[in-house]
A and B are shown apart, each in its own frame.
Chain A
Amino acid sequence: MKRVLAFFGAPTVLLARTARATAREGLSWRESVVQLHELGGRSVWLVMSGMAFFGAVLVTIANSQARRFVGNVAVLGPAYFELLIRELGPVVSAVLTASRAGAGHAAELSTMGVNEQIEALEMSAGDPLADLVAPRVVAGLLGVPLLCVLGTVAATLSASAVAGLVFGVDGRAFMDPRYVDGWDLLAAALKAVACGLYIPLAAAVAGLRARGGAEAVGEATTDGVVAASLGCLLIDFAVSLGFQVLRL
């Protein structure tokens, strides 16, 4: 129970403290842009290539399911496309980003903590929360939704290509937005933004807690990645359940 509370509570407390510190100290936009490049520019290849493979897998499954039922992937295509837009696109992209950015953030912050650079920053009248955590949170809020869009596009394109080249189905049958409505897009956007907020916070909680030597850096990195990935899955589940309960 204590662990569950800490899992949700620590990032929330950190967010509140970061917001207060940022209101007091101001936010460095330059640093935020640097962090956005770190998070987005460096993850974009991983997310897009991973999602391209994922789209190919999705259409392979749709094809084998459709062959048992109706004989043509064109029937299941639109449903799978909705599934991709609403569910798998944002979540798998966010988990991939979490593994890359979460590990990077946690490793950086814990290395700084272990080498006493954070104390040095405090001594020179800096604020670790406003100077280190806030730019990463801003980068996550902006970067993760963008990465989710790119990942979903990559998955869709590769799914259409595989459908056309391998299964001989018209690739456009998969990209049929017949079932996609505004609510799907809203669910996807909510998930992307919430994951973008959660990933840097979870990584920062793990990274700032690290004390000790090189061992502690590895430990903090692991904790940050696990917390960020699991958090993305939980956010996805919560949003889906909310929409299901409200019958949207």
Chain B
Amino acid sequence: MDSRSVSVVVETPARGLGALVLALARELGAIALVAARTVLGLPRLERRELARALVQFGYDSVPLAMATAALAGVIVVLQSGLYIQRFGARAFLGWAAGYGVLWEFGPLLLGLIMSARIGARNAAELATLQVGGQMEGLRGIGLDPFAILVAPRVVAMELSMLTLSTFTFLVAILFEAVAALLTLGLPLRVFFGTFAQMLGALDLVGGVVKVGAFGLAISLVSTAVGLSARGGARAVGQAAASAVVRGCAAIFVLDFLLTLALAGWMS
């Protein structure tokens, strides 16, 4: 091995790492820029667009969110049932299943599904506008695209996610109770008894805080990806796909950080 090949071997990982760090910095910078411009655009927020986004993000997502909630609840019970029976702690099922849905599976599944549904659509719409030159058109006639297009989406997403989270948790817990009755023969009174005894209002708050953070992450990531699309029709599809992927990645990282923070803060 001569000195040149050695330098290549050393250089490639270093170059890869450098590219990774640069890409990460660019991503975070784009998200921070979008967030800052959104906050600046809040006073001049387009109300009609906000109403439309609220209907699209909130009302139209209700069936999907409910289906996800019902499935999550039943799955958690089917699974906890396995080891709850093994430990002979059937009465604790209400607490264990409720805890699982409120803290973990409810927020996480809702976040992933909403990221797929709303994140992809957001990115595709904004990328279509960007690629078609309509964004420049807005700027050209002196309007702020952030106040008209981005801020309403971020606000609507946040409101929809917070509202949906409460409904989702309710539906999930109801389905859990029914599933526990049908599969394990656990009376509803016992289920809700331990549920009410061992879970406090703080547990509910934890789930809602998580969902709110996920909603913010989804809307900011997807709008940042959509606005940075360049090219033709292909770029629109790519923006939609990469918005979903980045949204999911952001949700997992946030989930871990929030679990650590909230668990540390509560105990």
Contact = CB atoms under 8 A, between A and B. Distances in A.
B263 interface: yes
Contact of B260 (A60, A104, A229): A60
B71 interface: yes
B241 interface: yes
Contacts of B113: 226, 229-230
B233 A61 contact: no
B93 interface: no
Interface stretch (B39-47, B120-128, B141-149): B120-128
A146 interface: no
Interface residues of A, number: 54
B83 interface: yes
B68 A214 contact: no
A61 B103 contact: yes
Interface stretch (B25-33, B73-81, B155-163): B73-81
Give the size category of B's interface with A.
35 or more
A215 B124 CA distance: 7
B182 to A, nearest CB: 10
A16 B183 CA distance: 35
Nearest to B132: A214
Contact of A49 (B115, B252, B255): B252
Interface string B96-117: 1001100110000100110111
Interface in A95-130: 95-96, 98-100, 102-104, 107-108, 110-111, 114-115
A218 B121 contact: yes
Contact of A244 (B64, B72, B183): B183
Contact of A57 (B64, B99, B256): B256
Given A56-B256, A61-B104, A83 B79 contact: yes
B124 A230 contact: no
A65 interface: yes
B84 to A, nearest CB: 9
Interface string A234-248: 101100110010000
A107 B83 contact: no
Contacts of B112: 95-96, 99, 229
B166 interface: no
B112 to A, nearest CB: 6
Contacts of A237: 71, 74-75, 78
A131 interface: no
A57 B125 CA distance: 34
Main SS at interface, chain A: helix
Interface in A200-246: 213-215, 217-219, 221-222, 225-226, 229-230, 233-234, 236-237, 240-241, 244
Nearest to A111: B237
Contacts of A114: 233
Given A54-B252, A221-B120, A60 B263 contact: yes
B222 to A, nearest CB: 11
A217 B244 contact: no
A214 B79 CA distance: 43
B120 A53 contact: no
B60 to A, nearest CB: 11
Scoring A49, A95, A115, A234 by chain B CB atoms within 10 A of each residue's CB, the highest score goes to A95
23 contacts: A53-B256, A60-B260, A61-B104, A64-B263, A64-B267, A79-B82, A82-B83, A87-B79, A96-B248, A99-B115, A99-B116, A99-B248, A110-B237, A111-B233, A115-B233, A214-B132, A214-B236, A217-B233, A217-B240, A218-B123, A222-B116, A233-B72, A244-B183
Interface of B: 64, 67-68, 71-72, 74-75, 78-79, 81-83, 86-87, 92, 96, 99-100, 103-104, 109, 112-113, 115-117, 120-121, 123-125, 127-128, 131-132, 183, 198, 233-234, 236-238, 240-241, 244-245, 248-249, 252-253, 255-256, 259-260, 263, 267
Interface of A: 46, 49-50, 53-54, 56-57, 60-61, 63-65, 67-69, 79, 82-83, 86-87, 95-96, 98-100, 102-104, 107-108, 110-111, 114-115, 179, 213-215, 217-219, 221-222, 225-226, 229-230, 233-234, 236-237, 240-241, 244
Given A57-B259, A60-B256, A65-B96, 16 more contacts: A60-B259, A61-B100, A82-B83, A95-B112, A99-B112, A111-B233, A179-B86, A217-B240, A218-B236, A219-B124, A221-B120, A221-B241, A222-B116, A222-B120, A230-B113, A237-B74
Closest 3 CB pairs of A and B: A218-B124, A107-B237, A103-B241
